Chains A and B, each alone.
Chain A
Amino acid sequence: MHFPGTTLAASSSAMTIISALLEQRTGQQIAANRAWRIETALKPLLREKGLASLDQLVAQLVVTRTGELGDQVVDALLNQETSFFRDSAVLDMIADATKMIQAEAAGRKVRIWSSGCSTGQEPLSLAMLFDERGMGEGASAPEIVATDVSPAALARARAGHFSQFEIQRGLPVRRMMTWFDGNGGDWAAKPELLRRIQFRQHNLTADAPPPGKFDVVLCRNVMLYFSPDVRRDVFAILAAAIRPNGLLVLGAGETVIGLTDRFRPCDQYRGAYRAVEAAPAKRAAFG
């Protein structure tokens, strides 16, 4: 790999090692024209560790055995941007679909998987919408499993605390008044909302999916920087984790088209995809 236009004294081999680490751990690739992000994103970590350059960081990465530094590097490089009610029309659609599925799924819990949930805004938004549709708690409440590869993002999601900036992005003030306690710079999701979500660490490119089948799987704005091969594999894993007739929801501008034959656009819920049975292995032609 070659990274043109890098500014600091980082050697291109340091960049290569760091981006290989990220890809190996998460499937996320860093395109050459975004390599500048490596330095920007790692600057705070370098400062914290008292390291002068990316080369020194790589030297440290090679000698440390705990892997903790590697975790921190990966965390710093992941794009974890999110907001409450991101693409709110899509979330409304999911809540409506969930209500329908629940009406048909007599007696069993409907299960939702928010994969790549970042700091928790996505599953919290769903939990609020479910509550507004009478599926807040009790037998009718869907099970919400929220996962992310990043331990740091998950720790924040579990804690449910948000800055003044985060709490104002996408979250209508009435919902904030209902579901959050806070003052000024620190806003905390109420325990009765937070406990409706099970947070777990999970790597889409390495781990088996959470046990059991899901009715709706969200994988929004996660696969953007996966290679086509990795995407195909992840789609197959997601297809296997979804119930027959279940739904997959991607981010705005993301699609399965041309990438997998395991999903097709859903006619009933625009913007969602339905899982398709895996094509049977080609039969040998015996005349």
Chain B
Amino acid sequence: MKTCLVVDDSKVIRKVARHILETLDFEVREAGDGREALDSCLAEAPDVILLDWNMPVMSGMDFLRALKDSGIARRPKVVFCTTENGMAYIRAAIEAGADEYVMKPFDRETLESKLQIVGVA
């Protein structure tokens, strides 16, 4: 079973994502901000991370940079998952090392499609 770490400060979004991911046969872990997510990754790297942009403590972009600098052995795939839907944001996220990008609101098909594209579904 593949593991997915859902990083979002909204409990509701985490719950929705968890529900969809579980129907896609993922084992789901959650983190409420980038800092928690980093700790979770260093403890045990998931296969893929769904990453929100704006979060307290540590944003998605800061998390991406920190993940890069952490020297983690097996780097998880990162799917940005955010309400930011302008090309400038998308470009910035991809340049910072994200593998895919999901614009919220998303549904099961969108998420499944993007997870397939990064090769984990």
A contacts, CB < 8 Å to B: 83, 164-165, 168-170, 172-174, 176-177, 181-185
**Cα distance A169–B102 in the bound complex, in angstroms:** 10
Q: A168-B102, A168-B103 are in contact. Are A183 and B113 (CB under 8 A)?
A: no
User: Across the interface, do B113 and A177 meet the contact criterion of CB distance under 8 Å?
Assistant: no
Could you tell me the distance in whole angstroms from the C-beta of B26 to the nearest C-beta in chain A? 19
User: Across the interface, do B87 and A182 meet the contact criterion of CB distance under 8 Å?
Assistant: yes
Could you tell me the distance in whole angstroms from the C-beta of B40 to the nearest C-beta in chain A? 24
Query: Is B71 among interface residues, defined by CB-CB distance under 8 A?
Result: no
**Cα distance A165–B105 in the bound complex, in angstroms:** 9
**Cα distance A2–B12 in the bound complex, in angstroms:** 47
Query: Is B53 among interface residues, defined by CB-CB distance under 8 A?
Result: no
Q: A172-B117, A177-B91 are in contact. Are A184 and B85 (CB under 8 A)?
A: yes
Q: A173-B100, A183-B85 are in contact. Are A168 and B90 (CB under 8 A)?
A: no
Query: Is B44 among interface residues, defined by CB-CB distance under 8 A?
Result: no
- A168-B102, A181-B87 are known contacts; what are 9 more A-B pairs with Cβ within 8 Å? A165-B107, A168-B110, A168-B114, A173-B101, A177-B91, A182-B87, A183-B85, A183-B87, A184-B103
Question: 4 closest Cβ contacts across the A-B interface?
Answer: A173-B101, A184-B85, A168-B110, A172-B117
Q: A173-B94, A177-B94 are in contact. Are A183 and B86 (CB under 8 A)?
A: yes
User: Across the interface, do B91 and A172 meet the contact criterion of CB distance under 8 Å?
Assistant: no
Query: Is B109 among interface residues, defined by CB-CB distance under 8 A?
Result: yes
Closest to B109 in A: A169
B contacts, CB < 8 Å to A: 85-87, 90-91, 94, 100-103, 106-107, 109-110, 113-114, 117
User: Across the interface, do A164 and B103 meet the contact criterion of CB distance under 8 Å?
Assistant: yes
A-B contact pairs, 30 of them (CB 8 A): A83-B113, A164-B85, A164-B103, A165-B107, A165-B110, A168-B103, A168-B106, A168-B113, A169-B109, A169-B110, A169-B113, A170-B117, A172-B100, A172-B117, A173-B90, A173-B94, A173-B101, A176-B90, A177-B87, A177-B91, A177-B94, A181-B87, A182-B87, A183-B85, A183-B86, A183-B87, A184-B85, A184-B86, A184-B103, A185-B85
Q: B106: which A residues are within 8 A, CB to CB? A: 168
Q: B94: which A residues are within 8 A, CB to CB? A: 173-174, 177
Q: B101: which A residues are within 8 A, CB to CB? A: 173
Q: A184: which B residues are within 8 A, CB to CB? A: 85-86, 103
**Cα distance A172–B86 in the bound complex, in angstroms:** 16
Could you tell me the distance in whole angstroms from the C-beta of B49 to the nearest C-beta in chain A? 15
Q: A168: which B residues are within 8 A, CB to CB? A: 102-103, 106, 110, 113-114
Could you tell me the distance in whole angstroms from the C-beta of A80 to the nearest C-beta in chain B? 16
Closest to B103 in A: A164
**Cα distance A83–B87 in the bound complex, in angstroms:** 21
**Cα distance A83–B113 in the bound complex, in angstroms:** 10
Q: B114: which A residues are within 8 A, CB to CB? A: 168
Could you tell me the distance in whole angstroms from the C-beta of B32 to the nearest C-beta in chain A? 25
**Cα distance A176–B107 in the bound complex, in angstroms:** 19
